[in-house]
Structure 1
Amino acid sequence: MQGIIRSGLWLGYFAVILGAWAVLYAMSVGMGLDLLGRPGPGMSPPTVMPMARFAPLFAMWAVMMAAMMLPTLVPTLRSYEDLMTSANGTRAGWLGVLLGYFAVWVGFAAVIAALQLRLLSAGLVDGLGVATTRGLSVGLLLLVGLYQFSRAKAVCHGVCHAPTLYFLRHWRTGIDGGLRMGLGLGVYCAGCCWGFMALGFVGGVMSLAWMGLATLCMVIEKLPQVGRYVTRPIGAALVAGAVAMGAGVI
């Protein structure tokens, strides 16, 4: 019975991820965008994405959080499962971790949706959420690239990269305990990965190519075997991209 419940929860988990990607793809196709988030012939950026209101923009970002961030939680949920027998964990606690983690990212979706509206009203991004000035793109690339070398990134990444240690220090049983741990893990994850979301204003908020690349980078960063080796190279690549863009090479 336990095996059936476990399989059902994991299948439901991955179904949510696939469903979120399907929704984003349908939105992109419905707007007449290609994989890079560029409008088709006869469609201008301000009209192709008429999301100048908070509610639809927040909903879009929330779906993006499900598509992009839930895949990065797999090692964490596996770590919880490893402790279920020895530390009296439960499937309810497993679900609590998931819900707490995602709640943080839904909150982040609200913040970045509000930020996008501010940038749009200031003329700093267009209707597709793409920076309208080279300076903003360069600044974001440089900021996120340098953040990869910061102490804050190292601390947050350390928790995301080794969630077992976090569980051992903050262990709580039951769904309430799982929820509390999930909220804590979500905060550290947001501190680790916010920059990749901010880069949507460079690559295009509705660019499936950017979403896929950012998701891949975040998943690799959290893999136990290789995560610690890729953080700074990613930062170096982003800084190099900022320099190249600033020089007009790209």
Structure 2
Amino acid sequence: MRTAERRTTAGRPLRSGELLPVRQLAVAWALIVLIAALAWVLTVGQARDMGVEPGTMGLALPLFLLLWLAMMAAMMLPSVAPVALTWTRGIARGSRGATRALRTAAFLSGYLLAWTAFGLLAYGGLALTGGLVERHPDAARWIAAAAFALAGLYQLGPLKDICLRHCRSPMAQLMRYAAYRPRLRDLRVGLHHGAYCVGCCWALMVLLVPLGVMNIAAMAGVAALIFLEKLWSRGPLLARVAGVAFLVLAVLALFQDWLLPGLHGSMTPM
């Protein structure tokens, strides 16, 4: 049988301009994996140089946002990859790999833009807590307890459940996105989905205040939790279990200094 007459698994003839699903997604998958890998390399390199310090670590806002962007790319792209590829595969059917890669890049740019906007709030929160700990060192335990308690309560709350359900099953929303005007559509879709993701995961990022923004172990743990919440069949149950665990840690943080390295600070490179 000629190549142009190959059939799909559904029995429909596969036109000569189309690609099999595996080949269609290969370029986009490679792009996401490459970005995430480079982001982890950059983040780990910076963490080794900077160590774990309270507050904004002496960084000006523009430099902090660049570092925050790399962190979010490293932590979040693995969990958002299936949604990005589902979207670009649906709207770019029959497109070549390069076109699909550009559409995926636009989606991811919008997604990371949402997290960069949250980085502005993160910078303000870190500046506030860092200044408070500098003036009143004993406040570190209460800040840590409040951070764990906030994360725990949010994990068990209704808004977390709404946003997590969207991140786990976004197909209905993706169908609505198809009505967007083509111009900058991929960027807008990524931004909109990123806003839901921020709503789902922002409280987990608050944990980096007591654990340390440049604490690689903490970042990896939070990223793994986010990945499992979104993609594992028992993700919602895991989110609730994590919420209970965070509430326990909120109590322990009042007595256990090892739970707040990001507030005590350490100039030792990781």
**Pairwise TM-score range, normalised by the shorter structure:** 0.7 to 0.9
Q: CA RMSD in A?
A: 3.1
Partners of 1:79 and 1:125 in 2: CA distance: 49
Are positions 1:28 and 2:36 aligned together? no
Gaps of 5+ in 1: 38-44
Superposed, which structure 2 residues align to 1:100-139 within 5 Å? Answer: 100-123=110-133, 133-139=140-146
Of 249, 253, 267, 1:245 maps to 253
Partners of 1:125 and 1:104 in 2: CA distance: 33
Gaps of 5+ in 2: 1-16, 260-270
Asked whether the equivalents of residues 104 and 186 of structure 1 are also in contact (C-alpha less than 8 Å), the reply is yes
Could you tell me which residue of structure 2 aligns to residue 41 of structure 1?
none
Are positions 1:163 and 2:182 aligned together? no
Larger radius of gyration, structure 1 or 2? 2
Partners of 2:111 and 2:25 in 1: CA distance: 19
Partners of 2:153 and 2:64 in 1: CA distance: 28
Which protein, 1 or 2, shows the higher relative CO under an 8 Å CA cutoff with sep ≥ 6?
2
Deviations 1:26-79 (A, max 9, x none): 112223x4xxx4xxxxxxx47xx8524222222221211111111220221243
Question: Which secondary structure state, in structure 1, belongs to the residue aligned with residue 231 of structure 2?
Answer: coil
Superposed, which structure 2 residues align to 1:1-250 within 5 Å? Answer: 6-31=25-50, 33=51, 37=52, 45=53, 51-81=58-88, 83-84=90-91, 91=100, 92-123=102-133, 133-171=140-178, 172=180, 174=182, 176-223=184-231, 225-246=233-254
Question: Which secondary structure state, in structure 2, belongs to the residue aligned with residue 206 of structure 1?
Answer: coil
Question: Which secondary structure state, in structure 2, belongs to the residue aligned with residue 133 of structure 1?
Answer: helix
Determine what percentage of the aligned residue pairs are the same residue: 26
Partners of 1:174 and 1:209 in 2: CA distance: 41
Pairs aligned (count): 233
Runs of at least 4 residues off by over 4 Å: 1-5, 247-250
Query: What's the offset of the Cα at 1:203?
Result: 0.9
Query: What's the offset of the Cα at 1:80?
Result: 2.0
Query: What's the offset of the Cα at 1:175?
Result: 5.9
Query: What's the offset of the Cα at 1:194?
Result: 0.4
